[in-house]
Amino acid sequence: NAGVTQTPKFQVLKTGQSMTLQCAQDMNHNSMYWYRQDPGMGLRLIYYSASEGTTDKGEVPNGYNVSRLNKREFSLRLESAAPSQTSVYFCASSITGTNYGYTFGSGTRLTVV
C-alpha cells in the first residue's frame, strides 16, 4: 500500500507564479486535509474535505484553493504565490467518523522567492 502520496517533494516558485500540489490516498479514506508546517508554529490546517464533493476552510485558508477531484485525490492550488507561503505542506487522510487519527503524506517543501 502506498498510503498517502504527495507530489512534488520540492518546489521553488517565483512570487506571483501559480502551482498545484497533488495528493492521492489509496486507503479508501473519506476525509482529506492540507496542513502547512512552519518553524515554531506547528501544523496549521489550510483546508479539509470531509467527503467527496465537500471542502471547508481551516485555520489559514487565505491564498489557497482546493479541489476534491474524487475520493482518492485532493489538490491544493496557490494562484499567486507569495514569500509568506514558503513552508512545508502535508496532505493527510482519515476515516470519517472514527478516532483513528491521520495518515500523512511525506510532505512538499515549497520555497517562494
Determine if 34 is a binding residue for other proteins (CB under 8 A). no
User: How far is Cα 85 from Cα 106, in angstroms, rounded to an integer?
Assistant: 18
Determine if 87 is a binding residue for other proteins (CB under 8 A). no
Q: Measured from the CB of residue 95, what is the shortest distance to other proteins in angstroms?
A: 9
In this chain, which stretch among 10-18, 19-27, 69-77, 105-113 interacts with other proteins, using CB under 8 A? 105-113
- Which one among 25, 31, 85, 87 touches other proteins, defined by CB under 8 A? 31
Cell of residue 64, nine digits:
489557497
User: How far is Cα 113 from Cα 101, in angstroms, rounded to an integer?
Assistant: 34
Q: Which amino acid is located at 43 in the chain?
A: L
